[in-house]
Chain A
């Protein structure tokens, strides 16, 4: 249906297309920079709107000591007006200087680089699990196995409505503390990844499955499915070769969104499973108003989100045949 009326214009010069692509990429980058700037600005404003004088928080018991106060103010550049601190911060970002954490006393860029590794491991593995699971469930439940679909629906409902915190605790209680299959303590082994990955990957997998199944169902109602069947293709074949491909299109940007949101999920999961990572330090940074660290994490998580959604868009463009052609007016 969708392809009717589109003429593949083989003679269209590649220069024009190249120009379009460049324009698109430039627009994308500009958009990304804007989003990053907006995220930093909003975070900056929000932190400074929070009550509590930073110098006093840093000084603690010694907040009435004038000499110490002066040395703190000088060291962290807190004598500057807020707008000036804001511009100084913005100016330093391109050189990779994100300041030094008030509490952990390390350069923020170094801390983030260190903590990103375990978070990335967790998020990437969970994403793979979610995608594989999503496709498998969607494929299996659009088949004609009786009872499978309602059973899956119940599971979906449970995993999508249960708070991730709770799922994590249940997994821990059952598989780590009762059955003793996976240790939460030994971080060097792959086993410590299994439960946290399950806690994040399972709900996401069910979410993906819902979207995919919906797409498959709709594709199967389309005339081309009937045509394919009439040509002698099996149900499974139709689902595999036609419906699943159609259903993938809305799923790809969804993967982007989900991947971007993984960092948020990591905050909770890392707390429950006592894993190191960005989420772990983010929670503490906010509690103690560690401004450089909060800003750094906001920056990195926004960046991750942009990368994920841009990648998803690009993959979408590459996989969707409609984007490779031009409509002739």
Chain B
């Protein structure tokens, strides 16, 4: 089964495809090719198309050994895989802490560290079979007892080890060791999030001896942690640098990732935090780093048009960057105002002016990643200023104040978006300024983007003192983000469901797609879901979030996780000698 995609740095003339074609071609290639090394190149700036196996030119033999320096934006807080809550840490920590399963781009789960799994009773019982040859980097064997110890640690708040239990463990009732290599999980009800947990690095097992470390060593993590990855941690400086070194014994990896070479090529990989985008770009240009993540829109051309470099971007799975409209209060309790907000500005034009094509418009409420995205929604809300104005007139926002903002009963048509400063990236503040200008001019809506510290932002949310919430939520599957952003009747699930939809029809769809392990049911339900939230104008999807990086042309073998859209660590990466 073809599930991963590789690129090499060679600049072959691979045709770039539109995202839609891309997914069609994935399906086609998936059907016919099995373990072909696929290439696309960052030539066009379009999301890279793993369209055709044109890698013959670049198929110089992979080189064993060598070192690599990787400039990243994220300041890593901890490197304990269970404790770290940073989304961007996934493709880094997976080097040392891979999960039991791998959720691929078709929505299926493949074995990774585990040998396989079975579900019974509609998904209420999950049996996890372990491989016989997996060892931790301290030499201990990964058996069912060690696996159970890990599950116990991360699922019991009383242990004082975790501060957040993964949502996927919410319905876990019991864990039982059936035999030295088999583990049985009983759930209160079937839950796809549980399988996703087993496919996330939060589930990656640590050696039993690691849990005996002092809390102050175990929690921040570092060289002392023994995991089951292709690399081990050599050193870690919080917020600055994380160094991995190769572990020779590693061989437990899905063939779709391994491509015939299970272990790592590189002897050493250094992830160096360079929080400023221009610093990462400059460092890559000078060769101070070999790879730079999160290339800023303005810097894309530096690498895209230079044969010494490659530029690659992929859509990230989950939910794209969107505006969630708070329907629980004025003015968005009126569907006409919601529609007017969504039709009242030419969003594609605004996105183009801000990002210059470095980011693409998102139309569907789900990221443009198979198998759940509803591509029929492309172009569903085209700008229509006349209709927007008419809707606002009908809704009673007929007066105007001195600034030209519509008013009703003396109150201005105000839409405020309080947002945590730490989440402002990808020029979202500039985007909001452009949107505000357009809405004011076109339809007389006053849109205010308010950057706040996390404490204040939380207070505003608790007080429902907002009209709009902006967010992007990545992940291998939309199920987690959908719960968080739409399930407003249960705050334990809809932690950031600040649209306050309180909509039972919507939540029935969410439950139906979550509490099953049947892929076809999930696909159909999610199509319905996306139709529903767009018909109700609950959400305005804005742009596709993406994993964009640039690298020297001499670096090869980047492998994409087809579920999350992020890279699968540095295991498959090699450097020309």
Q: Which residues of A pack against B, CB within 8 Å?
A: 50-53, 56-65, 67-68, 71-72, 75, 100, 103-107, 110-111, 114, 169, 172-173, 176-177, 180, 183-187, 271-272, 274-276, 280-281, 284, 287-289
Contacts and interface: CB of A to CB of B under 8 A. Distances in A.
Interface in B236-264: 237-241
B237 A100 contact: no
A174 to B, nearest CB: 10
A51 B456 contact: yes
B307 interface: no
Interface in B436-487: 453-456, 458-459, 484
Contact of B220 (A53, A65, A106, A272): A106
A276 B241 contact: yes
B274 interface: yes
Contact of B283 (A72, A75, A185): A185
Contact of B274 (A107, A173, A184, A186): A184
Contacts of B216: 100, 105-107, 110
Nearest to B239: A280
A71 to B, nearest CB: 5
B285 interface: yes
A47 to B, nearest CB: 10
Given A186-B288, A272-B276, 14 more contacts: A51-B455, A52-B454, A57-B455, A60-B495, A64-B491, A64-B492, A67-B157, A68-B164, A180-B287, A274-B275, A276-B239, A276-B241, A287-B421, A289-B455
Given A51-B456, A274-B273, A187 B241 contact: yes
A274 B240 contact: yes
Interface string B192-226: 00000000000000000000000110011000000
Contacts of A60: 85, 163-164, 495
A187 B455 CA distance: 34
Contact of A53 (B289, B421, B458): B458
B396 to A, nearest CB: 34
B19 to A, nearest CB: 30
Contacts of B279: 172, 184, 272, 274
Given A51-B459, A103-B77, A59 B164 contact: yes
Interface string B46-59: 00000000000000
16 contacts: A52-B453, A58-B163, A60-B163, A64-B492, A104-B238, A105-B78, A106-B216, A106-B238, A172-B279, A180-B287, A183-B288, A185-B289, A271-B275, A274-B275, A276-B240, A281-B239
B286 interface: yes
Contacts of B289: 185
Contacts of A271: 275-276
Interface residues of B, number: 50
A274 B220 CA distance: 20
B455 A284 contact: no
B83 interface: yes
A290 B432 CA distance: 29
B78 A57 contact: no
B165 A176 contact: no
A61 B241 CA distance: 27
Nearest to A275: B240
- Chain A CB within 10 Å, residue with most, of B157, B456, B491: B157
B304 interface: no
A110 B216 CA distance: 10
B61 to A, nearest CB: 29
Contacts of A110: 216
Contacts of B69: 185
B157 A68 contact: yes
B163 A62 contact: yes
A71 B164 contact: no
Contacts of B274: 184-185, 274
B282 A177 contact: yes
Contacts of B78: 103-105
Contacts of B421: 287
A181 to B, nearest CB: 10
Interface string B62-83: 0000000101000101101001
Interface in B486-508: 491-492, 495
A288 B220 contact: no
A71 B158 contact: yes
Contacts of B83: 105
Contacts of B13: none
A173 B282 contact: yes
A50 B455 contact: yes
Contact of B240 (A71, A105, A280, A289): A280
A300 B167 CA distance: 39
Given A68-B163, A104-B77, A176 B282 contact: yes
Given A71-B160, A274-B279, A52 B455 contact: yes
Contact of B458 (A52, A71, A172, A176): A52
B272 interface: yes
Contacts of B286: 176-177, 180, 183
Interface in B269-304: 272-276, 278-279, 282-283, 285-289
Contacts of B240: 187, 274-276, 280
Interface in B521-552: none
Enumerate the 8 nearest inter-chain pairs by beta-carbon distance, A residue then B residue, closest first: A52-B455, A177-B282, A105-B219, A276-B240, A185-B288, A68-B157, A105-B220, A51-B455
A162 to B, nearest CB: 18
A198 to B, nearest CB: 16
B453 A50 contact: yes
B577 interface: no
A50 B459 CA distance: 11
Nearest to A111: B238
A57 B288 contact: no
Contacts of A100: 216
A61 B485 CA distance: 11
Interface in B27-50: none
B551 to A, nearest CB: 15
Given A51-B456, A71-B157, A177-B285, A61 B75 contact: no
Interface string B148-180: 000000000110100111010000000000000
B283 A184 contact: yes
A49 B558 CA distance: 48
Contacts of B239: 276, 280-281, 284
Contact of B459 (A52, A75, A104, A177): A52
A50 B456 CA distance: 8
Nearest to A272: B276
B422 interface: yes
A172 B75 contact: no
B492 A65 contact: yes
B264 to A, nearest CB: 21
A274 B272 contact: yes
B157 A65 contact: yes
Contacts of A276: 237, 239-241
Nearest to A179: B286
A284 B288 contact: no
Contact of B495 (A50, A63, A176, A281): A63
A275 B278 CA distance: 15
Most buried by A among B216, B238, B275, B454: B238
Contacts of A67: 157-158
B193 to A, nearest CB: 13
B201 to A, nearest CB: 17
A61 B495 contact: yes
B567 to A, nearest CB: 20
Contacts of B237: 114, 276
B158 A57 contact: no
A288 B422 contact: yes
A64 B462 CA distance: 12
A272 B75 CA distance: 14
